[in-house]
Amino acid sequence: MVTARRSEDNPILSPNKAAIWEKEATFNGCVVKEGGNYHLLYRAQGAPQQYANVRISLSTIGYAKSHDGVHFSGRRQFIKPEFDWERFGCEDPRVSQFEGKYYIFYTALSVYPFSSEGIKVACAVTDDFSGIREKHQVTTFNSKAFALFPERINGKITAILTANTDKPPAKISIASFDKTEEIWSKSYWNDFYTGLEKQSLTLQRSRNDHVEIGAPPISTHEGWLLIYSYIYNYFIGHPTFAIEAVLLKKDDPKQVIARSRQPLIVPEKHYELYGKVPNIVFPTGTIVSGEDLIIYYGAADTTVCLAKINLEELLKDLLPQSQGIPVFNTKNLIPVERFSANPIITSKKENKWEDKFTFNPGALYLCDRINLLYRAMGRDDTSVLGYASTKDGFNIDERLTFPVYEPREGFEKKSRPGNSGCEDARLVNIEDKVYMCYTAYNGADPPRVALTSIKTTDFCQKNWQWEKPILISPPNIDDKDATLFPEKINGKFVFLHRFNPNIWIDYIDDLSFSKSKFLNGEILLEPRVYSWDSDKIGIGPPPIKTASGWLLIYHGLSRYSLKYRLGAALLATDNPSQVLARLDYPILEPETEHEKKGVRPDTVFSCGVCVIEDNLYVYYGGGDQVIGAARLSLSKLLEELRKYHI
């Protein structure tokens, strides 16, 4: 993972209390380098004053100069409102040197109170920053954040912009021109807007997120590097502003080659957390200096700051994710085949113990078939385990009419009305025993992990002689989602379990747990606040040993959409505490009616998978109510994981 190194001189530009036009804020700076000079254009916000019959803090664009790109002087007001289409402010400049001139694109505000119809892009042209030679309104529709590519692409002048910034969803779009005059042609932009979808990139991970162009694109040997603003949860409150990167194809920038797997910068420093608008980092400029990419960004809508990232490290971090495949079509990367007759198991009204719900099955390939131990609930809200099996992976050809495992101990027997029982079994076969971890809950105490076992021969013969269960997780702590690895590693039993919200790993010499010996260990995986698994995570089925390492399927809950999805990670074979890879997208998510509805809507939750040849069969609870089955290619999944090497 690449590291952004903030400048010790941050903020490099702060408001000037002695100048009324930049007294309140100086932020969102963009730099262009010419020889040994660095020219900085930035948004300046003045003190509140009476202007055009309203009282506002007018935004104009300032200019400063530097010889090192860090220490700027000679600050002066450079662009201010002159025409009706920019009457109420000029904001957020992006400057590009192109064919002997400097083109400064900025947001022009024509109405107050501000509204989407009055927010468009304008352009100012200068030869040497001594003055403006011409100004134009550019777009005819709501838009911001416009920048030129620094060279022609396929003979065309090419630009990137954000359309519909204030009429979401916003679209990051590519525009091409034969000559500069077309850049401010009304007829061009009217035609462009009609076909906006065809010109746009898809960068949003969620419909709740917002995107906006950051800095003008940088040419690299791998493609066009675009640093842009990604705002998580913008439309549902509590937005998180982040700076991210995307790599565009050199001869066709509408094609995405790769993207950053997580933010490069999020608000952390005091100057990013506090200011006129707290908790904001917003990129507006980049230059390459030696081995480093320099990112200029606005902090808390108050100051200009900069950070450095090693350019080659960033490109290497981006490229393995896709290797030329568009990284946003994640559903096509690992095709998932759901069984056409899903759900494969549903409740049976004739059996009181399973007449409400059947879900979250554990799975074990043994005795020439896939054996499923599924969680079942009846009208008394007690969870027990039922048995079913399949030879071909999809069609259930055997299902018992009685539960094969029921609550026996006080820690899992119902102590008061409500849910209780034995939940979410995970099964492994080690030597001559089948071990089962499950969640034991009596309705009063926090859920805990229980362990039992049965002889492999008894399991195959359906002679359900289970050993007396024992609690293996600490008292008074909510612990669940536990399993053994299916073999000892370096002479030790290895467990995974979940102390909320993380997945933990623990190494145990033997299975003789006692009142003073419980699972503990260390954190293996944590939620990723900016991803689909942002709230909490837990294991799915027991890990699967492959030639590439231990394949771990896990579930994640999004704090934003509240969906349960399944993801994948890869652990080192001889040291599973080492995470080798982790996909940044889910491999299975709620899509069908029985997954999107139910007792717990928008849920897919797996406790069992089986491998037959190259097929990975995934058995999962849908909506906490029924059981579904899906199949995907194991080799394809491992191939994808190798692209996400940590």
pLDDT of residue 85: 97
Least confident of 197-206, 415-424, 465-474: 197-206
Q: For the segment 304-340, what is each residue's pLDDT rounded down to a tens digit?
A: 999 999 999 999 888 654 433 333 344 556 889 999 9
Q: For the segment 433-455, what is each residue's pLDDT rounded down to a tens digit?
A: 999 999 999 999 999 999 999 99
Distance CA 32, CA 218 (A): 12
**Dihedral angle of Cα 316, 319, 323, 328, to the nearest 10 degrees:** 160
Provide the CATH number for the domain formed by 336-643 in this structure: 2.115.10.20
- As a whole number of Å, the CA-based R_g of the chain is 29
Q: Provide DSSP, 521-579.
A: -EEEE---TTSTT-SEEEE-SPPEEETTEEEEEEEEE-TTT--EEEEEEEE-SS-TTSE
pLDDT at 221 over 80: yes
* Alpha-carbon distance values, 69 to 127, 244, 288, 294, 497 (Å): 20, 22, 11, 9, 50
Tokens of 194: 């009609």
User: Do 394 and 612 touch, CB atoms closer than 8 A?
Assistant: no
For 405-516, list the strands marked E by DSSP.
420-430, 433-441, 448-455, 470-471, 479-484, 493-499, 502-508
Q: Model-level pTM? A: 0.61
Across the chain, mean pLDDT equals 94
pLDDT of residue 528: 80
pLDDT of residue 61: 98
Write the Ramachandran bin of 100: left for phi over 0, alpha for psi from -120 to 50, otherwise beta: left
Which CATH class, in words, describes the domain spanning 5-328? mainly beta
pLDDT of residue 465: 97
Average pLDDT for 199-227: 90
Task: Identify the residue whose tokens are 């467990």.
Answer: 495
Identify the residue with better confidence: 533 or 6: 6
pLDDT of residue 178: 97
User: Do 123 and 183 touch, CB atoms closer than 8 A?
Assistant: yes
Tokens of 546: 């492959």
Identify the residue with better confidence: 205 or 507: 507
639's CB contacts (< 8 A; 6+ apart) are none
Q: For the segment 142-181, what is each residue's pLDDT rounded down to a tens digit?
A: 999 999 999 999 999 999 999 999 998 899 999 999 999 9
Please, which residues bridge with residue 45 across strands? Answer: 25, 59
pLDDT of residue 273: 95
Tokens of 526: 């944590």
HSE-CB at 603 with a 13 A cutoff on CA atoms is: 18
Q: For the segment 106-118, what is each residue's pLDDT rounded down to a tens digit?
A: 999 999 999 999 9
pLDDT at 226 over 80: yes
Least confident of 4-13, 240-249, 324-333, 524-533: 324-333
Task: Identify the residue whose tokens are 């259930």.
Answer: 396
Please, which residues bridge with residue 539 across strands? Answer: 554
* Alpha-carbon distance values, 331 to 365, 486, 629, 646 (Å): 27, 30, 17, 22
Same fold for the pair 5-328 and 336-643: yes
Average pLDDT for 613-624: 97
Percent of the chain residues past pLDDT 70, beyond the cut: 97
User: Do 386 and 405 touch, CB atoms closer than 8 A?
Assistant: no
Q: What is the DSSP letter of 636?
A: H
Query: Given pLDDT bands bounded at 50, 70 and 90, which one contains residue 476?
Result: very high
Phi, psi angle pair for 318, to nearest 5°: -75, -50
Least confident of 34-38, 48-52, 126-130: 48-52
Tokens of 56: 């506002």
Q: Provide DSSP, 8-52.
A: TT-SSB---TT-GGGSSEEEEEEEEEETTEEEEEEEEEPPPEEET
Domain ranges of the chain: 5-328, 336-643
pLDDT of residue 332: 54
Distance CA 221, CA 315 (A): 9
User: Do 228 and 217 touch, CB atoms closer than 8 A?
Assistant: no
Query: Given pLDDT bands bounded at 50, 70 and 90, which one contains residue 381?
Result: very high
Q: For the segment 176-206, what is each residue's pLDDT rounded down to a tens digit?
A: 999 999 999 999 999 999 999 999 988 887 7
Query: Given pLDDT bands bounded at 50, 70 and 90, which one contains residue 645?
Result: confident
Average pLDDT for 22-44: 97
User: Do 8 and 269 touch, CB atoms closer than 8 A?
Assistant: no
pLDDT at 464 over 80: yes
Q: For the segment 602-611, what is each residue's pLDDT rounded down to a tens digit?
A: 999 999 999 9
Tokens of 83: 């025409």
Task: Identify the residue whose tokens are 């309140």.
Answer: 24
What element of type H or E holds 273?
helix 270-273
Q: For the segment 60-99, what is each residue's pLDDT rounded down to a tens digit?
A: 999 999 999 999 999 999 999 999 999 999 999 999 999 9
Average pLDDT for 475-484: 96
Summary count for the chain: helices (H), strands (E):
7, 44
